[in-house]
Amino acid sequence: MPDDPDIVIRASGLTKVYRNGPVEVHALRGVDFAAVRGEFVVILGPSGSGKSTFLNILGGLDSASAGRVQFRDHDLTELDERGLTQYRRDHVGFVFQFYNLVPSLTALENVALVTEIARNPMNPADALDLVGLSARQDHFPAQLSGGEQQRVAIARAIAKRPELLFCDEPTGALDSTTGVRVLEALTEVNRAIGATTLVITHNAAIREIADRTLRFADGRIVETTVNTTRKRPDQVSW
Amino acid sequence: MVIAPLRRKVLRDLGRLWPQVLAIALVLAAGVATMILGNGAYASLSETRARYYADYRFADVFADLTRAPLALLGDVAAIDGVLQAEARIVKLGRPEFPDMVEPASILLVSLPVNPDAGLNRLHLRQGRLPEPLASDEIVVSEGFAAAHRLQPGTTVPVVMNGKRRDLVVTGIALSPEFIYALGPGEMMPDPRRFGIAWLPRATLEAAYDLDGAFSNLVLRLAPGASETRVIEALDRLTAPYGGLGATGRSEQTSHAFLDAELKQLGAMVKVLPPIFLLVAAMLLHMTLSRLVALEREQIGLLKALGYRPGSIAGHYLEFVLCIAVIGCLIGFVAGAWLGAGMAQLYARFFSFPFLVFTRDPQIYVLAAAITVAAATGGALQTVRAVLRLAPAVAMAPPAPADFRRRTGWAARLVPLRQTGRMIARHLLRWPMRSLSSIMGVAMAVAILVASLWSFGSIDHMIDITFSRAERQDVRIAFVGAEPASAVQDVRRMPGVMAAEPFRVVGARLSHGARSKRLAIEGRPADARLSRALSPDLVPMAMPGAGLILSEALAKALDVARGDLVTVEFLEGRRSLSHLPVSGISVGYVGLGAAMEIGALNRVMGEGALISGVNVSLDPAGQDAFFAAARQAPKTGFMNVTDLTVSRFRQTLAENITVMITVYVTLAGIIAVGVVYNFSRIALSEQGRELASLRVLGFTQAEVSGVILGELAVVVLVAQPLGWLIGHGIGLAMVAAFSSDLYRVPFVMGREVYATASLIVIAAALLSAIAVRGRINRLDMIAVLKTRE
Ligand SMILES: Nc1ncnc2c1ncn2[C@@H]1O[C@H](COP(=O)(O)OP(=O)(O)O)[C@@H](O)[C@H]1O
Ligand SMILES: [Mg+2]
């Protein structure tokens, strides 16, 4: 796998140290990781184990203290603020626990926000259709339920057809039924656009729909499980 | 102790929000400073004047006449209501300084036998008064002495009634009669070319053949006496002696100019402080509303913990009061400091022996009270909302801002990008805030428009007056009326290219109950030098018989073209005529009435006389001309257009820098205050959205564009509004400042609007840059980890 031409994102020796005055927090202690095109990776692990830090660095929101991150054949570690912005803009979709929709824009407009600046975007209405929200496209976030808002966020994340889709606890703020709908939407778009998808979650059942599961502990990947037979979300008992 | 932690929070909030706090405090301070400065300067100027007048027995009524026997003084003093009357000889002489080519004049005023008991007493700065019997001693006015470096002991050659006398300066003095010493025919005081000399009457009696006679009266009235009735009685007494009509203080030059200055100060006090206080109240309201919105949970928690709503509301009031106190303190210091500066300006411009700069604590108390009231007013609504907030509601996170109402439609009208929609909807979501911010910026523009226009108007006034109406290079006024042939003598002087006679006659014009005393000027029908201009600035031919009145006079008399006015000439045979108004002319200085010179002489019934000659000169022959004109015995005084204009401009230039600095600073404070607070609040509300945009791959510039775009809309919409308001204030100023002394033409040009807008936009840009730094430092990750 190390030289697989299909590898989209690769991290090696990734280390992150937060310094708050005299206190040093080692959030990542040398993480090696690679993912291929279209892969669906689930990240598990206790709170504080470095999952979000890992995802943020891969997504170009934060920079590593040591180690390298490569997107295709670009070295992210060498990019400045401007370069990282361009990387996020062109290649990465994010979904967060708190949907972070723009309250002054409707569902459709929130999606259009991204398609307007993307190189090869979908039609925003199609993106909403993918997450099953066509009917609510003219609603403002305040008029949508949490699950609906999260699905809008997913539509917004994938409307630019990103190579990478990073989801940090996307179901964290949702009840389980709604959470399942959101996860279904995620697998759906993963299949539809072929984006390499990394999902942080506390929901262990999600392993069954993933290609691979990583378990973080204390800033390291302590366990990797490869799933040979991926289930569909509706086949999983959550 | 329940209050202590909350009080600590006040201090922490002030520290945390210091740039916003400072911006608001500065706006408040500007209001306080202008209030203290304006009121202080007003009180100081009027009190100084009042005390000066009282201590130095400034007269109430003034009258000039040709020559009356001293015996008349008894009749004058006997007029009902007259407390004290003094007969003087007042004549215009000509100083001759070897180093001075241009003409100058000196007003010679006789001293009473006992100067300490007289009216318009002198304040001696240096030296002593002349000995009553010394025929060559004078006291000179301070400005004149300074301009010519005169000291007690210096000799000044003065031409009196055609004869040159060497007079010795014994002292330097000030008089309440000449606080503002304006030379005849001049627009601005010029102490080099006009001074006052006081001397024993014997010297003047001898020089002007006025033995046992006088040419000027000053009266002090008993308290409560009717000025009008005294003036009527006085005019009856002086008419046989060439009385030119008495006037009260309101028409005494020095007093009237001081009055005009006071009027302007009064207007400033009425206009400026309310603008600042209103804007500050609006800013406090905005800032506090946002603070309370951010602290809903804390408020709910405090309520749940058992804090009384009153003490929580009190906490926010304390925060506001702290800002008010900071504003007051800065305003006090700035106001006192600027006030001292203003006093210096006055001291330079007006001749006072002392300046009472009142530090009336009442003004400070009043300013503080008004400021606190404005601040509390701005905070009231928010504080009431705090009181009403139920603990449970307060602790639940606020629902996402609801943009359904009133904002959905607007953004759909225009095909905007989504960030454009965000800007539009955010502005519309809080219409009151957006509108009051627009008003705030508009006020900054208005302050500039309302102050900057006057410079253009003054240029316009100079241009019209001196390049179209009064085109002569020099105006020679004779000592008395001369036969028309005198113009030939002038024409023969060296350097003269053209010469036109004029006749000036004192007259009282009346129409119905209205009446004005002024000088009617006679000019040749086809005058090319000194001309009347119609309102569209075209030279007017002098009509065969009627009068041409200036707009100001026509308005004062309430007459229009074709009306008849009653003209009572105050000179010569003092005839009375009814003359038609043949036209209305433009004029900015004084009240003007003009006639064809022949027609004027006909109605006067005294044959062809002239009062002086307007001359245009060959520049090369100027010095020779001055020398010749000076030697001519008929010459009374000369006005040199170039000198008048340059003095005018120079005086303005001295004040203009100060004024521009003050107004630009004031407008800048408002603009920065409003823009900075508005954008900080917008940023606080939308910080989360903007961080999300950064995560989505929007660049720093694109993200700043959302806040800056909102700002740009506010600032741009404010411009035309500011022009409009400034235009209105300007018009009101024109109405308020117009007097019989001068009228300011209202010339509001595009340059004024452009300059005002540029300054305000520059101030807005500065605050935008400060806010942009904060936008660039937005922490994307922190925002994503927390729920709002
Ligand atoms: N900005 C930061 N400053 C200091 N420490 C941080 C920061 N962000 C995360 N950490 C620390 O890094 C460690 C890993 O955090 P995180 O990646 O958020 O863990 P997870 O997502 O697995 O819960 C934690 O100990 C956390 O406290
Ligand atoms: Mg996390």
Q: What are phi and psi of A66, to 5 degrees?
A: -155, 165
> Do residues B581 and B720 share a domain?
no
pLDDT at B405: 55
Residue B650: CB atoms within 10 A of its CB come to 11
Please tell me whether residues B675 and B543 are part of one structural domain.
no
* pLDDT, position A99: 82
Give long-range contacts, CB 8 A cutoff, 24+ apart: B554-562.
Answer: B554/B581, B554/B584, B556/B514, B556/B516, B556/B591, B556/B740, B557/B509, B557/B510, B557/B511, B557/B514, B557/B515, B557/B516, B558/B511, B558/B512, B558/B514, B559/B511, B560/B584
- Retrieve residue B336's tokens: 């006192």
| Any atom of ligand 1 within 6 Å of the Cβ of A51 | yes
Chain mean position to CA A102: 19
Q: Quote the minimal CA–CA distance from B704 to chain A in Å.
A: 14
Using an 8 Å CB-CB cutoff, list residues of chain B that contact chain A.
399-404, 407-408, 417-419, 421-422, 425-426, 429, 688-689, 692-700, 702, 780-781, 783-788
Q: How many domains does chain A have?
A: 1
Inside any domain, residue A77: yes
Q: CB within 8 A of B98, min separation 6: which ones?
A: none
Q: Are residues B651 and B768 in the same domain?
A: yes
**Which atom from ligand 1 is nearest to the alpha carbon of A200?**
21
Q: Report if residue B383 sits inside a domain.
A: no
Confidence of residue A77 (pLDDT cuts 50, 70, 90): confident
Do B407 and A104 make contact, defined as CB atoms within 8 angstroms? Answer: yes
Give B565's strand partners.
B579
**What is the number of domains present in chain B?**
3
Ion ligand 2, residue ranges at CB < 5 A: A 52
pLDDT for res B1: 42
Q: Which ligand 1 atom sits closest to the C-alpha of A53?
A: 17
Q: Does any domain span residue A82?
A: yes
CA gap B168, B136 in Å, rounded: 6
Taking an 8 Å cut-off on Cβ atoms, the answer to whether A142 and B421 are in contact is no
Flag if A142 and B399 touch (Cβ within 8 Å). Answer: yes
pLDDT in tens, A86-101: 999 999 999 988 888 9
Identify the weakest region by mean pLDDT among A2-6, A20-24, B70-74. A2-6
- State the distance from the centre of ligand 1 to the C-alpha of A17, rounded, in angstroms: 9
Residue B711 in domain? yes
Pairwise CA distance, residues B87 & B218, whole Å: 7
Contact status, residue B309 vs residue B303, Cβ threshold 8 Å: yes
Residue among B290, B386, B297 nearest B686 (CA): B290
What is the block-wise mean pLDDT of chain B (788 residues), using blocks of 10 residues? 70 89 92 88 88 95 94 94 95 90 92 90 94 92 95 94 92 95 88 95 92 95 94 94 91 90 82 88 88 83 83 88 94 88 78 80 87 86 80 64 59 71 88 91 93 85 88 92 92 94 94 91 92 90 89 91 93 89 88 92 89 94 90 88 88 78 89 91 88 90 92 95 94 81 83 94 91 84 66
> Nearest CA of chain A to the CA of B443: how many Å?
30
Q: How far is CA B122 from CA A121, B128, B172, B756, in A?
A: 90, 11, 9, 46
CA distances to B43, B344, B368, B485 from B361, rounded to whole Å, are: 12, 21, 11, 66
Q: Cα(A144)–Cα(A138) distance, rounded to whole angstroms? A: 10
**Which residue segment(s) compose the domain that B787 sits in?**
430-468+642-788
Q: Which two tokens stand for residue B710?
A: 């909102």
Asked whether A20 lines ligand 1 (CB < 6 A), one says yes
Percent of the residues in chain A that have a pLDDT greater than 90, as a whole number: 58
Residue type, B681: I
Query: Is B56 part of a structural domain of the chain?
Result: no
Q: Domain range for residue A210?
A: 7-235
Residue showing tokens 């004058």: B76
Are B517 and B530 in contact by the 8 Å Cβ rule? The answer is no
Query: What is the separation, in whole angstroms, between the first and last Cα of chain B?
Result: 32
Among A133, A186, A126, smallest CA distance to A160 is for: A126
B402 CA to middle of ligand 1, Å? Answer: 33
The answer to whether residue A38 is domain-embedded is yes
In a domain, A13, yes or no: yes
* B116 and B193 housed in the same domain: yes
- Quick one: B597 and B663 in the same domain? no
CATH code at A224? Answer: 3.40.50.300
Say yes or no: B584 and B500 in one domain: yes
Is residue B697 within 8 Å of residue A116, measured between CB atoms? no
Q: Does one domain contain both B654 and B738?
A: yes
